[in-house]
């Protein structure tokens, strides 16, 4: 009997020591101010995986409601679009490194996302909602580019010629009016020099017709490609979007090609240019061939020291990439993301291994976010943020304070009742209950789980349920004592008979909690997780820890029991 008592005491002490071990990182972290926590995490990045996380309602963060734009989908792709979007966005969120994020489906077109503790909200929105259509497009030959420029210039020139007569008449009328105004000013005796200077200034102002340029006038040869001065980019965009230009391009049979802008700018001799690529509209490959994408630093070449994204393709993509590069040696292959060319390297030789890279003047953070999007894959359709809610840390702290205060009141009432009604046996129940809560928090910290406001409510509920188990035991012991049994026999019988009732009660509650965890969302899941951990800990403390302490108390008080 003595050997069993020693073993039981060692086991309880071991559980307490293990619980304290798992709680120490959380105690250290949450005892610091919010500013010091940031510094602490920077110096100890692995701590975030060892602490008890707080949910969105307790530490602040972001909540987004996304809606899929089905108008951009073809009927063939309309079936499982929500499931695909869910899987892709889930991968992106996990890659962001947010602790315990939540993503839920709502209806047929919506996703609800909760990101507790999120700091960089703008980056998160960009990564989550980005469609990211990655394509590999061949650049057209120089002769085809020259033909396209000629067609566009002819379209622009044709419109200008049609309006030339009207413009000349307007120009003549303006000059006649200016001469008349000058004569009136001179007649009135105004200063002749200032009047003539004003007239000369007006004469230098040209009409829109006289300042118009053709497409070719904006273009500058930049090595193997063409570019446009940054200040003229807007004008060229307007020109290329004109209906007459687009119609002329279609009539010339060039509709299967596109002009796409480079992601970066190029600086030459003090001027800043943006490269304009002429590519085949039909891509050779799409982003679904991506197996992996990682951000890294370029170690050599013109982009040495700059961030880049290394791409590795799957087996199908590598085979297709090998075929494309073999058939187009000395041609340029543009890597296009969301209709923007990130790079357009020349194909020197056949590339059989299915590896490529995206280079550009982006930061390492931008490269990492781009790699996240590419790894997760392209969204099947654009998603719109229809609701955005940010919970501030101060509101979260207020929830913690109120939850703690509510728990404190409930615990105090329970302690007073147990001490008043069950005296020393009630103290045993309180010690077991305290250990129960410590174990629950330690297990949650060990699993890196998240504590939410409903979770705090679950802990408060566990206080009542834990006491309930002890009440069943104590009342059963009282009944046995009233039947004339000895104290030792009453204790043994009380715990033995109460075991079935407590197990039945906790088992049915565990089943309910498991269903809530399976089918519930958000706050309901947080409540269910806390309840499951708490009920398991309650069985240990009520049926084992309480029994050991009762035996010790019984022996030291010489077979007397205060109950």
pLDDT in tens, 192-218: 444 444 444 444 333 333 335 788 889
Name the strand (E) or helix (H) holding 291.
strand 290-297
Most trustworthy range by pLDDT among 234-238, 476-480, 521-525: 234-238
Residue 323 clears pLDDT 50, i.e. is over it: yes
Name the strand (E) or helix (H) holding 510.
helix 487-519
Contacts of 281 (CB under 8 A, 6+ apart): 137, 255, 256, 257, 258
Phi then psi for residue 133, to 5 deg, are: -85, 105
- Residues 141 and 392: their CA atoms lie apart, in Å, by 55
pLDDT at 360: 67
Give the bridge partners for 64, in sequence order: 113, 388
Phi then psi for residue 191, to 5 deg, are: -55, 120
Residue 185, Cα to own-chain centre: how many angstroms? Answer: 68
Of 76-80, 122-126, 154-158, the poorest mean pLDDT is in 76-80
**What domains appear along the chain, each with residue ranges and CATH number?**
61-131+382-391 (3.30.70.3400), 137-376 (3.30.1360.200), 392-556 (1.20.1640.10)
Round the average pLDDT of the chain to a whole number and report it: 78
How many CB atoms within 10 Å of residue 488?
A: 13
Calculate mean pLDDT across residues 380-407. Answer: 75
pLDDT in tens, 329-374: 989 988 887 788 888 888 888 888 888 887 766 678 778 877 776 7
* CA within 13 Å, CB half, 196: 3
- Residues 240 and 349: their CA atoms lie apart, in Å, by 34
Give the bridge partners for 229, in sequence order: 273
Assigned token pair, 489: 């026999």
Of 190-204, 253-267, 372-386, 424-438, the poorest mean pLDDT is in 190-204
Assigned token pair, 270: 């003090």
pLDDT in tens, 481-509: 888 888 778 888 888 888 888 888 888 88
Contacts of 471 (CB under 8 A, 6+ apart): 429
Residue 278 clears pLDDT 90, i.e. is over it: yes
**Per-residue confidence at 326, pLDDT binned at 50, 70, 90?**
very high
What angle do the packed helices 393-446 and 546-556 form, to 10 degrees?
70
Identify the three-state secondary structure at position 303.
coil
Contacts of 346 (CB under 8 A, 6+ apart): 224, 330, 331, 332
Give the bridge partners for 451, in sequence order: 54
- Residues 553 and 414: their CA atoms lie apart, in Å, by 22
How many CB atoms within 10 Å of residue 211?
A: 8
Which H, E and C letters describe 222-250, residue by residue?
A: ECCEEEEEHHHHHHHHHHHHCHHHHHHHH
Whether the CB-CB separation of 260 and 279 falls below 8 Å is answered with: yes
- How big, in percent rounded to 5, are the helix, strand and coil portions of the chain? 60, 20, 20
């Amino acid at each position: 009997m003595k050997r069993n008592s020693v073993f039981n005491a060692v086991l309880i002490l071991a559980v307490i020591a293990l619980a304290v071990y798992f709680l120490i990182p959380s105690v250290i972290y949450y005892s610091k101010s919010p500013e010091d926590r940031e510094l602490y995490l920077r110096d100890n990045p692995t701590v975030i995986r060892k602490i008890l996380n707080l949910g969105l309602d307790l530490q602040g963060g972001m909540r987004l409601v996304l809606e899929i734009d089905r108008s951009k989908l073809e009927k063939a792709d309309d079936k499982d679009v929500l499931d695909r979007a869910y899987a892709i966005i889930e991968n992106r969120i996990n890659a962001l490194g947010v602790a315990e994020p939540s993503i839920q489906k709502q209806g047929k077109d919506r996703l609800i996302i909760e990101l507790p503790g999120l700091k960089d909200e703008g980056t998160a929105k960009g990564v989550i909602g980005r469609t990211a259509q990655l394509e590999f497009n061949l650049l057209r030959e120089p002769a085809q580019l020259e033909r396209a420029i000629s067609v566009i210039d002819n379209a622009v020139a044709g419109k200008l010629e049609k309006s030339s007569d009207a413009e000349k008449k307007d120009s003549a009328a303006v000059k006649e009016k200016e001469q008349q105004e000058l004569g009136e000013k001179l007649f009135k005796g105004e200063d002749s020099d200032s009047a003539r200077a004003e007239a000369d200034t007006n004469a230098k102002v040209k009409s829109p017709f006289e300042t118009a340029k053709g497409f070719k006038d904006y273009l500058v040869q930049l090595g193997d490609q063409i570019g446009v001065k940054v200040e003229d980019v807007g004008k060229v965009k307007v020109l290329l979007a004109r209906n007459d230009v687009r119609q002329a391009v279609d009539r010339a049979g060039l509709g299967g090609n596109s002009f796409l802008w480079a992601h970066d700018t190029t600086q030459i001799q003090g001027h800043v240019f943006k490269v304009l690529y002429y590519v085949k509209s039909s891509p050779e490959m799409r982003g679904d061939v991506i197996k992996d994408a990682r951000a890294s630093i370029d170690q050599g070449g013109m982009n040495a020291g700059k961030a880049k994204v290394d791409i590795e393709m799957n087996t199908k993509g590598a085979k297709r990439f090998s075929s494309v590069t073999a058939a187009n040696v000395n041609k340029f292959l543009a890597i296009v993301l969301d209709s923007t060319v990130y790079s357009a390297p020349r194909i020197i030789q056949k590339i059989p291994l299915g590896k490529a890279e995206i280079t550009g003047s982006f930061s390492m953070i931008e490269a990492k976010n781009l790699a996240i999007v590419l790894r997760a894959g392209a969204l099947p359709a654009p998603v719109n943020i229809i609701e955005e809610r940010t919970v501030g840390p101060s509101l979260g702290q207020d929830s913690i304070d109120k939850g703690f205060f509510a728990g404190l009141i409930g615990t105090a009432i329970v302690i007073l009742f147990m001490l008043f009604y069950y005296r020393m046996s009630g103290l045993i129940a309180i010690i077991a209950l305290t250990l129960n809560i410590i174990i629950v928090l330690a297990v949650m910290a060990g699993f890196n789980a998240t504590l939410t406001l409903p979770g705090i409510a679950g802990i408060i509920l566990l206080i009542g349920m834990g006491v309930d188990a002890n009440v069943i035991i104590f009342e059963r012991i009282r009944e046995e004592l009233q039947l004339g049994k000895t104290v030792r026999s009453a204790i043994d019988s009380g715990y033995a008979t109460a075991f079935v009732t407590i197990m039945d009660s906790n088992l049915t509650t565990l089943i309910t909690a498991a269903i809530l965890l399976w089918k519930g969302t958000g706050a309901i899941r947080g409540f269910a997780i806390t309840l499951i951990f708490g009920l398991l800990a309650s069985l240990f403390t009520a049926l084992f820890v309480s029994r050991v302490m009762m035996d010790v108390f019984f022996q030291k008080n010489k077979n007397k029991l205060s109950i």
